[in-house]
Amino acid sequence: MIPWFVGAVVRRSGKSFLRFTGDIDTTHIALAGRQRGGDVSLYIHIPFCKTLCPFCCFNRYLFKEDQVRAYFRDLRREVDMYAALGFKFNDFYFGGGTPTVLMDELSGFIDFLRLKFEIRRISLETTPRELTPETVDQLKQLGVNRLSIGVQSFDDSLLKAMGRTLFKGEDSIQKIKLAQGKFDTVNVDLMFNFPTQTTEQFRSDIKIFKDLGADQATFYPLMPSPHKLDALTKKFRRVDTKREQQYYEIILQELLDGGYKASTAWCFSRGDLMIDEYIIDYDDYIGVGAGSVSFLRGDFLVNSFSLDGYHKLIAEDRLPIVRTRHLSATEQYRYYMLTRFFGMSLNTLQFRQRFDSDIHDRLWAELLFFKTAGVIQEKNGIISVTRRGMYPVGTMMKEFFTALNTLREYCIEGGI
């Protein structure tokens, strides 16, 4: 009941949250660059994959070598524009798509970043299929600290249902073994509540992950965008969100009760390892590349999703931002609360430092509701998410991502 209620509220506010406009005024970005300098992380989107998975809701295109090379050139120009505005990045997150689709371009791009910025850490996503002993060595030499491998499942029949037919579960196991111990953190992405998936298959996936002794797992509930929901419903059975909590309970039993630490409501690590959500670590982040989103001083900035649109704006020496949305003060408090709760705790002193006000005054009704519902507890200025609160908090984040997916679908369909 509580997760349903929380989800419904976030869904409703998510719709207004993401009511974007096309009026782009970049003067405040320049101001933020001068004021914030290095206190911003950089997300780099590489929207290419060698094959496209039918369930995927991210902005991705089928690999074409020429297009990828041109795209990396544009990325450099976009980073240069932010550097010229005064931004200094130290923390980098490569997401996709598949950032490793063209290793020489990736390598050249990281070298380019190293010449411009002092790199503190690099997080990077890849597929098991792309991992070879050579790429693992290259990524290590390039200074990648955290490698995230999109396994989804080790079960061959489920992989087939997902449309990931070219790779077997056993191959993923070998690839994880190959990467393990070579990076500060090796993360494994697994999906749950996929149509046709059974709880037995899911338990088996978790057992394999634990037996492998990998550092970290991130569990994604299937998040169909409205467009993909139709395709999925037709292709498989109905996507049943009611089963989701049952799967999440298995995660809590196996990971949280099994001694893993929750870095986020979806990410479980052995010990104090890096976390994977750049939106949790930093108050502000810049996203570069087609379809990336930035959050800067209360503004959401959305880049062009279309490869042509992205290229055209860069060629005109303009930031490729096509939609913006300024959050009201209350929306900013709520967004802060959402991201910190997803990261399992909120420091009330940090809230005060960021907003110059007390969270107990600003969000008293929300805090009262969450405390009464047993979602959070507070001690010594730290509001932490309870075990009972983890599923509702994950639901809040899923609704937020779903709202972003709706925007993404809208922009992709409109060629924006």
Ligand X SMILES: C[S@@+](CC[C@H](N)C(=O)[O-])C[C@H]1O[C@@H](n2cnc3c(N)ncnc32)[C@H](O)[C@@H]1O
- Report the chain's terminal Cα–Cα distance, integer Å: 38
User: Which residue, 150 or 309, is less far from ligand X as judged by CB?
Assistant: 150
Structural contact between residues 256 and 248, judged by C-beta atoms closer than 8 angstroms? no
Supply the minimum distance, in Å, between the C-beta of residue 61 and ligand SF4: 9
Q: Determine the Cα–Cα distance for residues 233 and 383; give it in Å rounded to an integer.
A: 39
52 binds, among ligand SF4, ligand X, none (CB under 5 to 8 A by kind): ligand SF4
Q: Which is nearer to ligand X, 244 or 283 (CB)?
A: 244
Task: Kindly state the smallest distance separating residue 398's Cβ from ligand X, in Å.
Answer: 9
Distance in angstroms (rounded) separating the CA atoms of residues 350 and 354: 6
Helical residues (DSSP H) of 117-188, grouped into ranges: 133-141, 156-162, 169-179
Least separation in angstroms between CB 101 and ligand SF4? 9
User: For ligand SF4, which residue of 97, 128, 224, 287 counts as binding (CB under 6 A)?
Assistant: 97
Binding partner selected for residue 222 from ligand SF4, ligand X, none, CB under the kind-specific 5 to 8 Å limit: ligand X
3-class secondary structure, 93: strand
Residue of 6, 42, 46, 56 that binds ligand SF4 (CB under 6 A): 56
Taking the C-alpha atoms of residue 372 and residue 359, their distance in angstroms, rounded to an integer, is: 17
∠ CA 197-200-204, nearest 5°, is 100
- Site membership for ligand SF4, residue 131 (CB under 6 A): no
Which residues between 134 and 163 bind ligand SF4 (CB under 6 A)?
Answer: 150
Is the CB of 29 or the CB of 101 nearer to ligand SF4? 101
Between 208 and 223, name the residue whose CB sits nearer to ligand SF4: 223
Distance in angstroms (rounded) separating the CA atoms of residues 159 and 319: 39
Cβ atoms of residues 309 and 295 within 8 Å: no
Q: CB neighbours (10 Å) of residue 7? A: 19
Q: For ligand X, give the closer residue by CB, 33 or 95.
A: 95
- Site for ligand SF4 contains 224 (CB under 6 A): no
Q: How far is the CB of 271 from ligand SF4 (least distance, A)?
A: 27
Residue 60, phi then psi, degrees to nearest 5:
-145, 150
Q: Which of 13, 41, 98, 395 binds ligand SF4 (CB under 6 A)?
A: 98
Segments of 158-262 assigned E as strands? 185-192, 216-221, 261-262
Q: In the complex with ligand SF4, which residue's Cβ is closer, 88 or 227?
A: 227
| 49 vs 286 by CB, closer to ligand X | 49
Residue 327: Cβ-neighbour burial (10 angstroms; 0-12, 13-18, 19+): middle
Instruction: State which of positions 160-179 bind ligand SF4 (CB under 6 A).
Output: none
Considering only 96, 169, 320, 343, the residue that binds ligand SF4 (CB under 6 A) is 96
Q: What is the DSSP letter of 131?
A: -
Closest CB to ligand X: residue number: 150
Residue 58 contacts ligand SF4 per CB under 6 A: yes
- List of residues contacting ligand X (CB under 6 A): 49, 55-58, 95-96, 98, 125, 127, 150, 152, 189, 191, 220, 222-224
Does 289 help bind ligand SF4 (rule: CB under 6 A)? no
Residue 95 contacts residue 46 (beta carbons within 8 Å):
yes
Whole-angstrom Cα distance, residue 244 to residue 31?
A: 43
| Residue numbers at the binding site for ligand SF4 (CB under 6 A) | 49, 52-53, 56, 58, 60, 96-98, 127, 150
